[in-house]
Amino acid sequence: MQIHAVSLDLDDTLWPVLPALIEAERCVDAWLREHHPTVATAWPIEAMRELRDRIALENTHLSHDFSEQRRLTIRHAFAACGIDDAPVDELWSIYFAARNRVELYPDSLAALERIAAHLPIASISNGNADLEVIGLDHFFRERLSASGEGVAKPHPQIFRAAAERLGIAPQHILHVGDDPLLDVVGAREAGLATAWLNRTGERWSHGPAPDLEFTDMTALADWLDALRASDPSIHTHPNAR
Ligand SMILES: [Mg+2]
């Protein structure tokens, strides 16, 4: 296997996403209770979550765009309370700021530093995490999101777009992510090498096994170091960043 670049999932690969999403919902709810108590009473957190799920189901054309789903949810919640000019932008920025206050897994930062020193990295995410806001953008040569590309993982097109942007053939890119379907199956379909980041010790039960499996990002960085040591002819990218 010759690996010349890494593509990385973000949520639940570099940080656990659920705590940030829950906190973001809480921040939105707190703002509503202060500024629009009627809306807050009509749409407590659980009801707002169900509304968003329903809006996602009813708007499959937005399945790649979680941000637009949320904005639509806000508009709908306010309209149901008789308010047509919902403060969509304000609420979206409150949500977005909290959603990006993620706490990295303890192994993520050091591993990113090690990998980025030798290989270009692209991020491929279906979510709306913002690497600049999080402060990790300098590790990534390319950043691809489902909303930006108009198509979400596991569609092969988003992986091929990453390969094109990196200028590296798909088979020389190792895609790493926690989700068996979105990351491993999707990347394999697009011809990338695949690594399943299995932090919770699950058993693989999704068809053909991934090329590689790691328990954390340190194990990935170790494997890439060993690969480089075993074959010095593999070109490295001194200016990978
Ligand atoms: Mg993920």
pLDDT in tens, 119-150: 999 999 999 999 999 999 999 999 999 999 99
The residue ranges of every structural domain in the chain are 5-16+105-230, 18-99
Distance 16 CA to ligand 1 centre (A): 9
**pLDDT tens per residue, range 137-194:** 999 999 999 999 999 999 999 999 999 999 999 999 999 999 999 999 999 999 999 9
CATH architecture of 5-16+105-230: 3-Layer(aba) Sandwich (3.40)
Average pLDDT value for residue range 81-99:
96
- Which CATH fold would you assign to the domain 18-99? Four Helix Bundle (Hemerythrin (Met), subunit A) (1.20.120)
Q: How far is the CA of 238 from the centre of ligand 1 (A)?
A: 28
Centre of ligand 1 to C-alpha 13, Å, is: 5
- What distance in angstroms lies between residue 177's CA and the mean position of ligand 1's atoms? 6
The pTM score is: 0.91
Q: Which two tokens stand for residue 124?
A: 């491929």
- Between the CA of 8 and the centroid of ligand 1 the distance, in Å, is 9
Q: How many whole angstroms from 199 Cα to the centroid of ligand 1?
A: 11
Distance 191 CA to ligand 1 centre (A): 19
Q: Cα of 190 to ligand 1 centre, how many Å? A: 18
Query: Nearest-CA neighbor of 122 among 178, 155, 156, 167?
Result: 167
Q: Exposed/middle/buried for 60, CB within 10 Å: 0-12, 13-18, 19+?
A: exposed
